[in-house]
Structure formats: structure tokens, C-alpha cells
Amino acid sequence: MAEGQVRDLWKEARELGLGISGEVERLESPPSPLVFLRDFVAANKPCIISRAATLHWPAVARSLWSDDSYLCQALDGCDVSVHLTPHGRADSLVPIPPGAPGDAPRGLCFASAFVRTMEFQEALRIIYSTGSPSSPVVAYAQQQNDCFRAEYSALSADVEPHIPWATEALGCLPEAVNLWIGNGRSETSFHKDHYENLYVVVTGEKHFLLLPPTEVHRLYVRSYPAAQYVTSSSSEMGELKLEMVEPKILVPWCSVDPYPPSPEVMADQRTSFPLYFNGPKPFQCTVKAGEILYLPSMWLHHVSQTPDSNGRTIAINYWYDMVFDIKYAYFNFLQSISFSHCTNEPSRMICNSCDVSDLSGDSELESTRKG
Amino acid sequence: MAEGQVRDLWKEARELGLGISGEVERLESPPSPLVFLRDFVAANKPCIISRAATLHWPAVARSLWSDDSYLCQALDGCDVSVHLTPHGRADSLVPIPPGAPGDAPRGLCFASAFVRTMEFQEALRIIYSTGSPSSPVVAYAQQQNDCFRAEYSALSADVEPHIPWATEALGCLPEAVNLWIGNGRSETSFHKDHYENLYVVVTGEKHFLLLPPTEVHRLYVRSYPAAQYVTSSSSEMGELKLEMVEPKILVPWCSVDPYPPSPEVMADQRTSFPLYFNGPKPFQCTVKAGEILYLPSMWLHHVSQTPDSNGRTIAINYWYDMVFDIKYAYFNFLQSISFSHCTNEPSRMICNSCDVSDLSGDSELESTRKG
């Protein structure tokens, strides 16, 4: 229906402001609050700020967080939340378990990690040990509920409590500060957040795939039934089992897996999601130790990581409240307009009708989580 | 086609950020650059700043521009541009003159004023004399080509050359500064500008009707053939005659006249343009002497005026370059989506087809001028 117009929007948003190279602009030093607000926040445009922005942080300058003995001593006796999955992908789409009702797009469900609280020292140990491809479980220390200021408050002197130029630009302190400790297998599937995000890698590297909100149709947001990993064993490394959440909950989520595990799955992904695989190249960047990524609100992002020589990646991110302004209203309008042929699901292939209600079944969906 | 979605956008943009009262936010003192940028420019939201912002301007503090002898002495020997029309409405829609080819929406054409250059003293005299309803011509001194810094440079010390907090926020000096001297009959029809506009009334009052860009469908932008007022007489007050521009030029323009001259025309307007007359109330404000209206880029605006006790309204406006960012791309996308039944023109009534190219004939249109 609106395919031509939506494609024009993709093109125009990139050509006018976001850039056509697919690269994220890099700043050598922290921007002034005014420049940050004008050139990036108001423009809803990402940027990476060099290590110069965090060189005064003890965690960066003295590489404190690359030192196990420092971390274990500082967090001695502290309990932290660890997400356990069989594959490293928390909050991702996986096949509905055998025996469960199968009425879902492509037979998939939205699987949340099994979350276990454990002493930090133990968490660090299993993050290392589960980085090996042979491990049947992958551990990722994360909890997107302001966990840095709660579980990791013993480390608060190692970083800044907020990003001063961002705080001044946005006119508020961070709503949440989260810490992330993962190994090379940890991955976050495509989603968006309703926050302005200042994402700082402290050790290791994070790899981002980014799509502007104008390109939301390319990720085929669909409603998937929620499922949850559980373990019957009392050991934290017990085998994980996937259970459907009862009563049924539907979670709108991006359908595309940009890095499928096998050529067969890749072939299926390419056939099913041509708008992603045949469309304009996603923005792509690697954020290195000490660097800050400004990830604008509503941008769709996929995150993977490369560990440091000690086998881990540690990042901290500052979530600032976004303003729900005219850009947000425009985004919701865009999402309410159907893109014909944007899916190969049979029920959506027939679109030679003007009845929008038949076609834009996802208009009210939000592929959102705190993540 | 997309009526429901477009109406939701109108509602959401107002509810989330622009406000539901239809009133323009008033600030008692000039905002800091950061607050102006964050709360108004980035949000694409208008505001009025009180007279406190211009009290240090000689033109405001000493009411210099209310004094004919001051103005005539300062501008002695200066030539200025005066727009002459039969009704006070420069750049507006009027019936195609008899005998001209009549193929146009509603039989209307887009009529530009006859522009005559004359000495300032003479200009001021005819602005006064043509304010009377019996005058067959209305004069409006204006020229939207940076005329203040050219024709009126002798007055430059009476105001500031730019608005400092806006310049700092926007990161550039004004692209153009224009002066407007009119009587009570001068009126500007609905249009939008590709500029961030700081509009200062120096004497008299200006009345604005404002619609956010999200509501562009409500003004029924259509392509009208261009016409021009001309005069055969060598006297500046010779009778004006309307001639179609040859070869034909089409000008996309807003069809709605919010203040039609008679009950019959009002009835026709109401029938023809229900989205305007039955939709949410436009934002409405009066800008008084010394006050500044921030009129955000792409907002649709209609302007009328009440003269001071000397029979004139004088305003100066500062046009700053707008940023063609993601908001602009979203606006163009919105304009490319047809709103079914948004017109009563017979050729547009049939919209039970998915072929957008048949319906959104205005997608590429720009109801824009420097004005």
C-alpha cells in the first residue's frame, strides 16, 4: 500500500541527516551540551565519543574492571543478577517447545532468560566458564532495572554517576544506570528502547547494528507468545528448559536475526525478511573500551560483543528519559501504516484492499523493553 | 485510506507535546539557548516571549517606530518595496479572471501582489490611506528577501541584528531579516516556511492561526495556476488588474480561508474543507508590541493584524535556517499519505483503490514560500 512512500522515507531520512555511509559519526572529544542536543538528540542521530570522554574515570584510566581481584574484593559478598540461556541470547525468538500450543508466527516464541541471583565471585566464574562454545548454558550478568546503582554500588567511585554534558543537554539525571558483564557468546536481539541511551564500554568491545526508527518496517515486528527458561536443578548450571508463560502473553518483537547460526537459517531469514536483508545497509559500529555510544531513543539495535583478553566485556549504560514529542508521534503514525508485501506470512500476502485494519495488524505493537 | 491513522497522529502530537488547549505557551523572560533548543526547537513547538525580551531595543523602549517623523527622517531618500493588492491579501487564492483558461481547483488562481518600489515617505502615506475599507487598493510594505538589512538598514541600530539566545541555540546567524509595515487590512494566507522564525511585533498587534505540520491534510494543499496583479497606470494607485502568468506555472497552496468575507463563502468553505472547520481548534495567539513569537519551521500559519493608534502594524522577523532532519523526512512521508475523503473535488472522491498514485496527487507539493 504505502511501500513507495515508506521507501522514500528511509532514503530521505538518511540522505538529509543521518548519513548514507552507514557509519556512525565519531567525536574526538565530548560535545558541549548545546551541540549534543542540537546535532544529535534533536536530530535523533547516533554518535560515538572517543575514549577522551572517560579517561578521568578510574575504571577506564586504571583499567580497574579488567582486574578480577579488584572486582572480587570490591564486590565481596554482593549478590548480582545473572541471566542464563542455552545460547547467550536473552530475550530472543526461539522455536516453541515441543508439546506447547503452536499458534505463533513462524512457530516461534519470545524466550526470557532464567535469572539467578548469586555472589559476584561466582557470577564472574560462570561468565568465564560458559564462554566456551561447548558449554550448554551461557551466563550474562545484567539486569535492566538500574542494577548498577543497586547491585554494583560498591563500584560507584570507579565511574561518573552520570554523563555531565548529556545531563545538562537533556535537563535531567539518568533514570537508570545498568551494568553488563558478558562473554563472547552474549548477544541482544533487535529491539528499541524508550530512552536516550549513553552506552559506555569499559573493557572488551561491543558491536552494534543500528536501524533508525524510520526503518521499523524492515524488522517485521510481530506478536510472539512469551516463554521463560527455567531449571529444575538447584545447581546454577542445571539444564535449562523452556516453558510457555501461562496464561498466554503476547510480546511484540522484531522477527529478524541478522546473524543466523547456519546457512539454512540464513536462507530462510533472507526469504522471509527481504526488507531487512535487501534494504539499505544498517548502521554498524564497534564501541571500544572507554568509548561512549549515544544511542538515540527509538533506534532499533542489535548488540554482540568481543571479550577482552580476560574473556569478558563490561559495559555501563545511562538511560535518560526521552521526550515524547512530535518525532514520537510521527513514529507511531509510521508504524500504523502498513507496508504491503512486508511479510511472507500467508495471511498477510493478500493486500489488494484498502482496508488498513486487515493489513496493519501491528499498528499498536511496541517492540520495546527495557534493554 | 489512512484517515484513522492521520487523525490519531493529530491527537497524539497535541496530547504528548504541543498541548491540547490551542494556546501558545508564554515565557516571561527569554529562555536560555539550551532550554529554547530542547523545549521548543527540538520539540517543534511554538512559544511567545514577553516584552522583557526586547525592552532594550530602542525601537521598543523608546517607541521609535510609532513616530512618523522619526521614521521619515531616518529613511529619508530610501526606496522600499510595497505590495499592492485589491484586498490586502498578498499571495492568496482568488477567482481566475474572466476570459482566462479556467482549468483549476475551484476556479481559483494563486495571485501575487503588484510590487512597486517607492520612497519610504510615500509608502507610509499610502499604507495609511489604503487602510480605509473604501480604498480599492491595499498597500503592505514587505519583501521577504532580507529587506530589513537592505532597504531599511538605516533603522539597524533600533533593534538587535539577531536574537542572541536563538542564534546560540541554532548555531547560526539569521539567513534573512524582514520588515513588515501594514494596516488593518493586510493579511497573509495559510502557508508554511522552511525556516525557524523569530517574529517580533514592534507596534500594533499580529494575530496568528497556527497548525502543526502533523495537520497538513487539514489545509487541502492543491496546485493553483499562478497569476499576478499588474497596473497599467503610471501612478502607484492605478487600478489593479489580475493577469495569469504565462507560460502557466502551478503553485501548491493551502485552500482554506479561515476568515471568509461573507456568510455564503463561509458556508462554501465549511462544506469544502471539513477537516479544517470540523477538526481540532487551531492554535491561536496575538503577539503584542515588544513580544516575540517563535514560529517553528513547517508550522502552517495565517496572519492578520490590528494597527496601533497611528494606523499601522510594524513587525520584524528573523529567519534562521532550519535543520532538514528526521522530523522533516517524517513530514514529507505524512504528506505523501493520502487522507481519504479529504476533499470534495469530484476527481478525488473515488478512493476505494489501493493505487496511491491515483490519490496522493499532492505528495510532492510544497505549500511554501518565503513569507
DSSP B47-93: EEE-GGGTTTSHHHHT-GGG-HHHHHHHTTT-EEEEEEESSSEESEE
Question: Among B9, B328, B356, whose Cβ lies nearest the Cβ of A333?
Answer: B9
pLDDT in tens, A90-142: 789 999 998 887 678 889 999 999 999 999 999 999 999 999 999 999 999 99
Question: Among A4, A12, A212, whose Cβ lies nearest the Cβ of B356?
Answer: A4
What is the number of alpha carbons within 13 Å of residue A63 lying toward its C-beta? 9
What is the number of alpha carbons within 13 Å of residue B250 lying toward its C-beta? 11
Residues 6+ apart with CB under 8 A from B309: none
The residue in chain B having the minimum alpha-carbon distance to the alpha carbon of residue A45 is B326
pLDDT average, residue stretch A62-73: 94
CA distance A367 to chain B (A): 19
- What are the CA-CA distances from residue B233 to residues B123, B133, B201, B240 (Å)? 17, 22, 34, 9
Residue B336 in contact with partner chain A when CB distance is under 8 A? yes
Number of inter-chain CB pairs under 8 A, A vs B = 163
Helix (H, G, I), strand (E, B) or coil at B254: strand
pLDDT average, residue stretch B122-134: 93
Q: pLDDT exceeding 90 applies to what percent of chain B? A: 81
If you ran DSSP here, which 8-state letter would residue B7 be given? H
Rounded CA gap, B236 and B229, in Å?
A: 13
pLDDT score at B353: 28
pLDDT score at B359: 28
Lowest-confidence segment of A311-320, B130-139, B228-237, B324-333 by average pLDDT? B228-237
B45 neighbourhood in chain A, CB within 8 Å:
325-326
Strands of B113-239, DSSP E: 114-119, 138-141, 176-182, 187-191, 195-203, 205-211, 221-231
A355 pLDDT above the threshold of 70 = no
Q: Please, are residues B110 and B91 in contact by the beta-carbon 8 Å criterion?
A: yes
Rounded CA gap, B243 and B299, in Å?
A: 30
Provide the total of helices (H) and of strands (E) in chain B, helices listed first: 12, 19
Rounded CA gap, A251 and A365, in Å?
A: 8
Q: At what angle do helices B3-13 and A326-336 cross, to 10 degrees?
A: 160
Residue A37 in contact with partner chain B when CB distance is under 8 A? yes
What is the ipTM score, two decimals?
Answer: 0.88
Dihedral angle over CA of A213, A215, A217, A222, nearest 10: -40
Dihedral angle over CA of B165, B169, B173, B176, nearest 10: -90
The residue in chain A having the minimum alpha-carbon distance to the alpha carbon of residue B37 is A38
Report CA Rg, chain B. Answer: 21
The residue in chain A having the minimum alpha-carbon distance to the alpha carbon of residue B336 is A5
Rounded CA gap, A43 and B299, in Å?
A: 18
pLDDT average, residue stretch A273-302: 97
The residue in chain A having the minimum alpha-carbon distance to the alpha carbon of residue B212 is A326
Residue B47 in contact with partner chain A when CB distance is under 8 A? no
Cβ <8 Å between A354 and B356: no
Lowest-confidence segment of A17-31, A68-82, A314-328, A357-371 by average pLDDT? A357-371
The better pLDDT of the pair B346, B341 is held by B341
pLDDT score at A105: 83
Q: Quick one: cell of A187?
A: 548477544
B residues 169-208 lying closer than 8 A (beta carbon) to A: 169-171
Lowest-confidence segment of A114-123, A151-160, A327-336, A362-371 by average pLDDT? A362-371
β-pair partners for B230: B241
Question: Among A5, A325, A352, whose Cβ lies nearest the Cβ of B43?
Answer: A325
Q: Please, are residues B172 and B300 in contact by the beta-carbon 8 Å criterion?
A: no
Write the single-letter amino acid at A25.
E
A172 neighbourhood in chain B, CB within 8 Å:
none
Residue B256 in contact with partner chain A when CB distance is under 8 A? no
Cβ <8 Å between B326 and A170: no
pLDDT average, residue stretch B13-34: 96
Lowest-confidence segment of A103-107, B127-131, B159-163, B324-328 by average pLDDT? A103-107
Q: Please, are residues A308 and A201 in contact by the beta-carbon 8 Å criterion?
A: no
B337 neighbourhood in chain A, CB within 8 Å:
2, 5, 337
